[in-house]
Structure 1
Amino acid sequence: MTNSKRPVLVFGATGRQGGSVAKALLRNGWPVRAIVLNSADDASLELQNAGVELVEGSFEDADVIRSATKDVHGVFSVLPATLAAEDEVRYGVLIADIATEAGVDHFVYSSGASVGDEPTGVPRFDAKSRIEAHVRELSITATIIRPMIFMEMLVRPGFGLDEGRLVSLIRPEHSIQLTAVEDIGKFVAAVLADKARFGGVTLKIASDRVTGHDLEAAFTEATGRPITYERFSDDVLAANADLAHMAKSLEGGPLAERVDFDAMREINPELLSFRSWLAGSGRRALAEALGTSSIPG
């Protein structure tokens, strides 16, 4: 399965993407090391109990990162969405540089599907493009993944589900490609297991493609109650640069680029459809978005 029993260093392991990667790597027989802010909090202890080696530190601790990177096979780098754009670039560059200095065999950077050939004008999207460009200049075998919009985004409170509707980015007849966060870990585990195939590759990943009408039907089925679908109004999009860019990109930009789902399933045979995700790991978040403790069925 793997050619090395040296660990993989995972950033963000107490979060969604990093947690998914840590879990998938452990399942595939990789030793996992993770840098955490507080090794005594519940999320960190859960990692430790699962067999993850914890290193306490932050993105500001370059010496800690250097020490944690020593003798690892691979590094998975993902930055929190809460960072300011300049901080994201600074930390992303630092992690990649340290991995290169340490002679890491395979570096995986999680970017974003909104990244394209042209600047977006949205700082947090363009930060990822700048990190990508820096990684490509380094003398390290690297893979860049660009996950499509997370399924989790559609079940966040405030998108209307508690009112019997879903408000999102696409027109009802148009399609959106979605990624289940747990699938990200499976993709990264496959990437790290095959350096020859994935080294130097930029891989856009998704789990499913659905229309607004499909979303309406899937939510209605999952909740057992009528859920209607509508797109954000032009006024809402005009007031939010991030949402406006994503909506535009879904119609004719990087987010509209078609992912090859046969290729996705070949890399990750356990690829989740949106319906299966709603019925499984997305069920709790769906209940919270509906404002209920559970969903019948």
Structure 2
Amino acid sequence: MHDDSPELPTTTADPHHRSRPLPPYRGILAVDMKGFTRRPAIEHEVLSRALPELLRTSLEHAGLADVWNGRLFPATTGDGYILGFDPTLMPLVIHPWLHTLQDVLAELDAHALGTARIRLRVGLHIGPLPDTADAFGGNGTARTDTHRLLDSRPVRAVLADHSEHVTYVAAVLSDRCYTDAVVSGYAGRHPHAFIEVPATVDGKPFAQRAWLYVPAPSGPLPGRTTSADRAQAPAAANPSRAVTGTLRADRGIINTGLVRGGQHLTNLDRSARPEPEAGHDA
């Protein structure tokens, strides 16, 4: 018997049997283009090639050329792009880069006549990922979660509900990214500018706490209400407010007053009152 077959590849990393160092923590930046698959096929390659150039241009304009020049495990997904970077730069990626990307896409829409409008969902995350400097680098849970954040319902809803002439960027941050870069005070945006959302993906077992950020909103944002909305909310939503008024129920019983452990019952039908017995005062 001849054993000339090539050695089979390793198919498991043998988890949970021995301890090993974590891979370095990376900042993860991923983008997806809205409506890519509905574009005519002739546009797909053009748009796929344009996306890395848009990222490079916007990062350079934001003073973050190092993020692009030093990018780790870069990869195109056809309708998107992903790269890793030094996580210490995450606050600067959140601001000013997200605003700069919005401005670059708005300028493209205004001046690049005859080309398709480009609107992007952006996912930002921080986590441990290996970089093997080949096509298989950067694989891990943190990368998978970043793609799930991009596909989550809240960030998709923003671009669907906001004007395509105003809102070109909708970003979703993982809770770790928000906590480390925003709550810490290092990012140049107040935490109140971000909206907490449940990030879920249709058909996928994924549900995480995440945070939306929209540089140029032009429509409703999840969980945000105005003072007018709150004024029109039913009083039941605010039990400290009593509803007063006059109610009438002929030949019946009315309940009056705010119920807090008791009720006042009044019978308004005098004809239903019993007649006094003989020998007693009425």
Same fold by TM-score greater than 0.5: no
TM-score with structure 2 setting the length: 0.29
Structure number with the higher helix fraction is 1
* TM-score, scaled to structure 1: 0.28
